[in-house]
Amino acid sequence: MPKKDYVIRVLNSPLDISATNWNTLLAAQSSDASLNPFMRHEYLAAMQQSGSATPETGWTPRFVTLWDGQNLAGACALYLKDHSYGEYVFDHAWANAYQQHGLAYYPKALVAVPFTPVPGARLLARNAQERSLLVKALIAWCEEEKLSSLHLLFAADEDIAACEEAGMLLRHTVQFHWTNSAPELGNDVSSSPSWGESDLSQARPFRDFDEFLMSLSQEKRKKIRQERRKVADAGITFRWSQGKAISDADWDFFYQCYERTYYEHGNAPYLSRDFFQRMQDTMPENWLLFVAEHGADGECQPVATSLIAVSARPESAAGEFNDKSQALTAYGRYWGALARVDCLHFEACYYQPLAWCIAHGYQSFEGGAQGEHKMARALLPVKTSSAHWLAHPAFADAVERFLEREGAGINNYMDDLERRSPFKQAL
C-alpha cells in the first residue's frame, strides 16, 4: 500500500473550514462525540464571531488541519493565549516560574474549547494513525513558532493516548458527574471499581426523583429535601423550555441574570450576548433553560435562570430530542439570579436539571469544573485529563516532577472522596 502524503494547513479561523467537513469528522469520533455540542463547528465559530474568543480577548485562533488530498483527515481547535484565564486547568505557577527566570511563557498554544471545561474529543481524526500525525504536527508547529508550550485540555482517552505516545506530560484534575443509575437494593454504588463511571448499558435508570433521593444516605436525603423546601417556601416555582421553544424574552432575561452575576463577583462575563444569540440561531436543540419565578399564578416574576446544554442531533430541532441508541448527557453551564433566595442555586443548577434528566431519559449530568460540594448532590468524582509539552528542557523536567507529586495528591484526594459517598452503604 503506497504511503500517503499528508498536508498540514494552519488556518486563522474556524470559518476557514467547511462546517460540513468539520462536523462530519467530529461525528466519526468515538465516545458519542457527535452528541457533544461544544466541539461543533457552530459553537466554535460563534466564539469568534461574537467577539468572545478573539485576539482582543487573548484568544488568537490557529486551527490546525491534516489533509489527505481534498479530504479533511484531522483537525483541532488551537488558540494562541497571552494569559491563562477561561481554561480551568491552572498553570499560573508555571507562568510565574518562567517570568522569575526571565523567560516568556506567553504566548502559549492551547488546544481546548474556550471557557468550556467539558471533556470531549480534541484531536479530530479518522483513525489512531492520523491522530498521532496530528499531535506530531502540533508539536513541530509550536517549535517552529518558538512557543513556550502546548496544552491540550479535557481530552478524550484517544487523544490522551496519542499525546502520551508523542512524549507529552499528562495531568489530571477532578470533576463531578451524576449518572442516572439506580443501585440494586443492598448495593453501594461507590464500591464499583469504576466509581463515578457506571456501566450505563447495564444499569437501570431511576424511575423518578424520589427514587433517586431514596438511593442516598439519610443525612444527604434529608438535607436535599430541606434545601428544596426552603426554595418552595420562598414562593419560587420553575418552568423549563428547550430548543426553539425558548423565547427571545427568556434568552434576554437569561443574559441579564448571567451578566449581573459575573459583575457581582467583580468580573466581566466571558461570553457576549451575541454568542448566545448565535446559539439560539444555530444550535437551539442543544439548550435547555430553567426559569425560576416568584409569585402567585398570573403575577409571577422571573428571578433566576439556569442554562443547561444537552446532547441532541441537529435534526432534532423540530422536537425529537431523545435518541435512545446513544448515551445522552446534560451539562451544567450557566446560571444567574436577580434576587437572593436561600438554596436557589442548588435547586436551579442541580435538582431541577437532575429531575429533568430522569424524566427525559438522559443518562448523565456533568457539573463542570471543581466543586466538591456537588458530592452532597450525588455528583461523583471523575478524573479528567490534559496533556502538556514544554519547549524548555529544564522546565519540562521540573514540570514532570511537579506532575508526579500532584498526581499522587489527586489519587489520595479521589480515595478520600470515595470514603465520603453520598449513597447508602452496602448492607
Q: What is the pLDDT of residues 12-30, one digit of tens each?
A: 999 999 999 999 999 999 7
pLDDT at 324 over 70: no
pTM, 2 dp: 0.91
What pLDDT shows up at residue 372? 87
The better pLDDT of the pair 218, 323 is held by 218
What pLDDT shows up at residue 34? 57
What pLDDT shows up at residue 368? 82
What pLDDT shows up at residue 185? 46
pLDDT at 299 over 90: no
Give the confidence band of 186 by pLDDT, cuts at 50, 70, 90. very low
What pLDDT shows up at residue 313? 58
Give the confidence band of 32 by pLDDT, cuts at 50, 70, 90. low
pLDDT at 203 over 70: no
Backbone angles phi, psi at 421, to 5 degrees: -55, 135
User: Across the strands, what pairs with 71?
Assistant: 68
What pLDDT shows up at residue 190? 43
Hey, what's the cell of 17?
A: 473550514
As a whole number of angstroms, the distance between CA 212 and CA 419 comes to: 20
Instruction: Decide if 419 contacts 375 (C-beta within 8 A).
Output: no
pLDDT at 39 over 90: yes
What is the DSSP annotation of 200-235?
A: TTTSBPPSSHHHHHHTB-HHHHHHHHHHHHHHHHTT
Average pLDDT, the chain: 90
Average pLDDT over residues 380-385: 94
pLDDT at 218 over 90: yes
What pLDDT shows up at residue 419? 87
Collect all residues with Cβ–Cβ distance below 8 Å to 231 and sequence separation of at least 6.
Answer: 341, 342, 343, 344, 347
What pLDDT shows up at residue 406? 97
Collect all residues with Cβ–Cβ distance below 8 Å to 96 and sequence separation of at least 6.
Answer: none
Least confident of 39-43, 320-324, 334-338: 320-324
DSSP 348: I
Strands 149-152 and 169-179: unpaired
Average pLDDT over residues 284-304: 91
What pLDDT shows up at residue 196? 41
Strands 108-111 and 149-152: parallel
Could you tell me what percent of the chain has a pLDDT over 70?
89
What pLDDT shows up at residue 86? 94
The residue type of 140 is A
CA atoms in the 13 A half-sphere facing the CB of 276: 26
As a whole number of angstroms, the distance between CA 420 and CA 66 comes to: 46
Q: In a 3-state reduction of DSSP, which class is residue 176? A: strand
Could you tell me what percent of the chain has a pLDDT over 90?
81
Q: In a 3-state reduction of DSSP, which class is residue 275? A: helix
The model's pLDDT over 247-282, given as tens digits with 9 standing for 90+, comes to: 999 999 999 999 999 999 899 999 999 999 999 999
Q: Could you give all domains of the chain from N- to C-terminal order, each with its CATH number? A: 6-174+383-418 (3.40.630.30), 206-362 (3.40.630.30)
Instruction: Decide if 293 contacts 300 (C-beta within 8 A).
Output: yes
The model's pLDDT over 136-178, given as tens digits with 9 standing for 90+, comes to: 999 999 999 999 999 999 999 999 999 999 999 999 999 999 9
pLDDT at 319 over 70: no
What pLDDT shows up at residue 369? 80
Strands 364-369 and 169-179: antiparallel
**Rounded-to-10 torsion of CA 105, 108, 113, 117:** -20
The model's pLDDT over 359-375, given as tens digits with 9 standing for 90+, comes to: 999 999 998 887 888 99
The model's pLDDT over 384-411, given as tens digits with 9 standing for 90+, comes to: 999 999 999 999 999 999 999 999 999 9
The model's pLDDT over 102-111, given as tens digits with 9 standing for 90+, comes to: 999 999 999 9
Measured CA to CA in angstroms, residue 326 lies from 180, 283, 321, 344 at distances of 14, 19, 12, 32
Measured CA to CA in angstroms, residue 311 lies from 212, 255, 347 at distances of 22, 22, 22
Nearest-Å Rg of the Cα atoms of the chain is 22
